[in-house]
Structures are given as structure tokens and as C-alpha cells.
Amino acid sequence: MLKVGVLALQGAVAEHISLIEQVGATAIQIKRKEQLADIDGLIIPGGESTTIGKLLRRFDFIEAITQFSDQKKPILGTCAGMIVLAKSVEGQEPHLGLMDIHVVRNAYGRQQESFETSLYLKGLERQLQAVFIRAPLIDSIGENVEVIAEHEGRIVAAKQEHLLAVSFHPELTDDTGLHQYFVNMIKQYSKETHHTKALSITN
């Protein structure tokens, strides 16, 4: 069974664990960098990106997650997790700097600080329930990045190979769609890695 880790330093961890289990994968709380060796994909949850970034540095996760990504193991960043993944963050230094997106924090106005809506997600090919809480938006993307959802003309979900980032909290609804999509991505990438390994053995 596929193992999906949820970075459990700060933020909405339990809800992701529950949705991952609902789509038939094993979910593991990740508190130490050594645990990354046991998982096939990683979720960086929503919460507060400055706090998550500080804890990543304190517990020596930056290089470990970068290596995890170098192996093309899928990473999903939701809300603050998306900010943590971004190569560029408006007005401040990036955290992991892995995904070629420029994000703006707290990009929605006061009266819209939090709201729930449904969005069409390319690849899932249906509407997905999404909760936005002091959400960031993706202001611009690099050429290898694909937009997979928009809300009122703004980019709110994007994919770059094995990296997936969404502005919203998919885990605060009962909709398992995004978790199913992410688990499918992990299946696809674990096949490709095995295939490459098999090739290097036969060569």
C-alpha cells in the first residue's frame, strides 16, 4: 500500500490523515526528517507558513525535503504549504524554494478572509469543494508549471511534474477529490521511478 506522509510540525494535520486513509493509502505523521525515507509522497499542510518555515529549519528538514523532491517523489502543498514550496514569495525570502511559482500571501480582501466554493480541477475533471482561509494566490508561474484550477480569474492550483500546490484547504471538506488526485500522481511517479531503476539494472 502507498504511504503518504503529512508534515506534522504545525497546521491542519489530522484532516489530511483522515482523507488519505479514505482514498485507500496509509497516512503517516512526519515529525523527523529520517521518516521521509519510508514514504512515497508528502503533504505540507496549511497553517502559518512563517511558523512552518522556522520549524523546517530548526528540525533540519530543508535539505531532506529537497532530496526527497530530487528523487521525484510527489509533494502536495496546501495553503501555507504552497507558500513553503514556492520559489518566490512576495516581499520575503522563500522557504523550500522548490516550485517555480510566485505567491502572494493573504491575497484575499478582509470580507473574503474565509469562504467555501467549488472549483473545476483539471485532471480530476470535476468540481471540487475548497475552503479558503487567509489564502495565498499564485501570481505567476514558470514555463514548466501547469494551471489546474482558477477562481475568478486567479490561479489557485498548479502542478509542476511531481509538485502540486493549491491555495485552499481541500482537507476541511468531505471531498476526497484532491487526495485521490495526489495519490494517483504518487502511483504514476512510483511506477516511473521503478521503471528507471529496472532500466539501470538491465543496462
Three-state helix/strand/coil letters over 3-68: EEEEECCCCCHHHHHHHHHHCCCEEEEECCHHHHHHCCEEEECCCCHHHHHHHHHHCCCHHHHHHH
165 binds ligand GLN (CB under 6 A): no
CB atoms within 10 A of CB 66: 12
The count of chain residues that interact with ligand GLN, using the rule CB under 6 A, is 11
79 belongs to the catalytic site? yes
CB of 151 to ligand GLN, least distance (A): 15
Q: Toward ligand GLN, which CB reaches closer, 20 or 133?
A: 133
Q: Is 198 helix (H, G, I), strand (E, B) or coil?
A: helix
Contact region for ligand GLN (CB under 6 A) — 46-54, 66-74, 91-99, 151-159? 46-54
Q: Is the distance from CB of 108 to CB of 135 less than 8 angstroms?
A: yes
Provide DSSP, 133-169: ES--EEEEE-TT-EEEEEETTEEEEEEETTEEEESSB
Angle between helices 62-70 and 49-58 (to 10 degrees): 90
Reported as type and span, the H/E element at residue 182 is: helix 177-202
55/201 Cα distance (integer angstroms) = 39
Q: Active-site residue among 16, 95, 162, 169?
A: 169
151 binds ligand GLN (CB under 6 A): no
Q: Is the distance from CB of 28 to CB of 4 less than 8 angstroms?
A: yes
47 binds ligand GLN (CB under 6 A): yes
CB of 78 to ligand GLN, least distance (A): 7
102 belongs to the catalytic site? no
Residues 60-89 that bind ligand GLN (CB under 6 A): 79-80, 83
Q: Is 105 annotated as a binding residue?
A: yes
Q: Toward ligand GLN, which CB reaches closer, 21 or 90?
A: 90
106 binds ligand GLN (CB under 6 A): yes
48 binds ligand GLN (CB under 6 A): yes
CB of 70 to ligand GLN, least distance (A): 25
Q: Which residues are catalytic?
A: 79, 169, 171
The residues that touch ligand GLN, with contacts defined as CB under 6 A, are 46-49, 79-80, 83, 105-106, 133-134
Binding-site residues for L-glutamine, in ranges, read: 47-49, 105, 133-134
